[in-house]
Amino acid sequence: MPRDRQRRAIFLTGAAGGIGEALVKDLTQRGYLVFAGVRSNRGSLDELPHVVTVQVDVTDPGSVADAAKRVSRHPTAAGGLHAVINNAGVIVQGPLELVPPAELQRQFEVNTFGPTYVTQAFLPLLRLGGGRVVNVGASTARTPLPLMAPISASKAALAALSDAQRLELAAWNIPVVLVEPGATETPIFASAEAAAKSATDSADPHRVALYANHLAAFAKMMAKQKNGPVHRVVKTIVTAVEVRNPKRRYVTGSDAHVLVTLSRLPASLRERLIASNFGLDKVTPGAA
């Protein structure tokens, strides 16, 4: 193992579970010191070597600024950071008409504004360390899907921010990389389903009834969905972190590659294929 890698440090958000926790374990085994950003639940992070947990709420610019100050005071961060990985994210799903305003706002606060706040606060450490930004997006940003408008839109906005900032930071040779995973075996999908059910339960029952057939078709499609393994996404993110000249974007997962292909089709054909796959091509309005 190269001796200089032992001194490399990485800041990672959403580190307590799913992709984040697996990524922490992989990076520490490779000799990195990981500043593991968590909102509250630390999971098993405190038991891992070469991990410094940092409490941070990515939706709060003040909390993010405090986290950056704490990291900057650590001796290993004296030489700056090798990477900032914006991994924290949530999924808000359901018919857009039924998504509560607070849930829609939460979707963008975590997935879009959060990575922006983190990157702003940690850029001084990235400049110092000759580091890079790795944003974890989603394949639905390229091909928005029905009943998944909030996640599609928030990740599409993150992709646009990444592309613009890549040009802004080129003068300092700071790459901005976007990793676009497909559906992955993590608790985030179960959390999204629970949040969607809670939102539906509290919504106007007459409006909910209008979408009864849509929701049934969506549930049937989701039940057949095969999520990819976490290690595949971790491997892709690690590649984005370690390769000398990273690509602008990395797509991982068979379903993610399908969505990339769909994004290149004429809109009318693309929408027909998506409607058919979701079982919405023959759906009729529910009876209110």
Q: Give bridge partners of residue 133 from the DSSP assignment.
A: 84, 176
Sort strands 51-55 and 83-86 into parallel, antiparallel or unpaired: unpaired
pLDDT in tens, the chain (288 residues): 343 444 699 999 999 988 999 999 999 999 999 999 999 877 778 888 999 999 999 999 999 999 999 999 999 999 999 999 999 999 999 999 999 999 999 999 999 999 999 999 999 999 999 999 999 999 999 999 999 999 999 999 999 999 999 999 999 999 999 999 998 877 766 676 777 777 777 778 889 999 999 999 998 988 888 888 899 999 999 999 999 999 999 999 999 999 999 999 999 999 999 999 999 998 898 876
Handedness of CA 138, 143, 149, 150 (dihedral sign): positive
Which bin fits 91, alpha (ψ -120 to 50), beta or left (φ > 0)?
Answer: beta
Helix (H, G, I), strand (E, B) or coil at 176: strand
Q: Name all domains of the chain by residue range, CATH numbers in brackets.
A: 3-186+227-262 (3.40.50.720)
pLDDT tens figures, 212-256: 999 999 989 888 888 888 999 999 999 999 999 999 999 999 999
Enter the tokens of residue 39. 């909102």
DSSP 65-133: HHHHHHHHTSGGGGG--SEEEE-------S-GGGS-HHHHHHHHIIIIIHHHHHHHHHHHHHHHHT-EE
The pLDDT of residue 83 is: 98
